[in-house]
Amino acid sequence: MAAIVDRLNISISLGANTGKVTGDLRLGRPKHLLLTNGAELTNADLVDSDSLKAWLEEKMSLSRTDPEKVFLFTGFHEMENNTGDPNVGTLQDGYEEVLNEAIPKYLGRHTADIGQTQSFVAFNGFTGKMYIIDTNGRFAYVGKEGGGGKGFDVAYLYSSYPQWGGSGAINTGTVRFTLGDVDQLKNNVGAVQASFNPADLVNMVDVRLQEVAPASGYAFKIGLYTNYTGTNIYQQGTYADDLAVIGAWKATRVDTGADVAIASAAKDATNKGWTVTLAASPAIPVGTKIILELVGPTALAALTAPVEGIESIPLKVTKVA
């Protein structure tokens, strides 16, 4: 008597035969774009939503010069899939063959303000990596052979500059991007369901240093202003007190590259800034160029009164008599 063999419904578990997680995955439209030059995830980072959130918070808090920094593009109300059709060759008898596949191409629309739009524009020409969180809250990545994940290759990114609107239409900005390798979408797209809103994560705000009063000897009067809108942050939150500490500041001689010790840092209520005084020993010659800045985001967050969410753009000052 022949053995009875149950029939398998191969559509129940898409990809299960190749080691994929059981269940189908339907991609939504891209809602949040996460740009990086080199940040990659381990298996532990992809265990669940909490692990992913911790990884993102760490990477988003890094200095802008760190290749593992993650930058968040968010606020998209619309996202068009502008991927074209494959390039097809046809013989005289009607036989067709795909010659080149179309690269994924998208156009996102947002209503961000001038400052955020200008920060988007600063990334024009970006060709690094991109992670995507869709409207279903799924964080998508490219799976690596040894485990973990990396971002999708970016071939092209362009953001429109701030513009005035017209009558009868919402004033929107656009971000266009093209992914660089269609094969990354064929073989090993991984996803983690995120239970958090990426827009709520701590993202760095660039603040530029500016002298608000003439320098006097080793003392410099410094204000901090948001890079694009020029807002003085002195009276925002607790910055006035939290940045009035030696450990928040860094000074470097331009000519030698040597660090200069900070002797003191105090609030300057008159000029709505801080007086940063350098150590007088060893002596610094008159006319010496010095780079003043805040310490990096990680060091700011480790202060006794942690400072989070800002990163400074350095200022070059001159030692006076």
* pTM of the full structure: 0.77
pLDDT, tens digit, 9 for 90 and up, residues 181-229: 999 998 888 999 999 998 888 678 889 999 999 999 999 999 999 987 7
Q: Look at the block and give the residue holding tokens 């990596």.
A: 129
Q: Which two tokens stand for residue 115?
A: 């400052």
pLDDT, tens digit, 9 for 90 and up, residues 137-182: 999 999 998 889 999 999 999 999 999 999 988 999 999 999 999 9
| C-alpha span between 244 and 22 (Å, rounded) | 54
CATH 2.60.40.1220-classified regions of the chain? 205-318
Give residue 24's pLDDT.
58
The DSSP H or E segment spanning 9 is: none
Question: Residue 43 to residues 16, 46, 55, 139, 146: CA-CA distances in angstroms?
Answer: 19, 5, 11, 14, 9
Give residue 302's pLDDT.
92
| C-alpha span between 241 and 79 (Å, rounded) | 43
Domain 205-318 has CATH 3.30.530.20: no
Residues in the chain, pLDDT under 50: 1-22
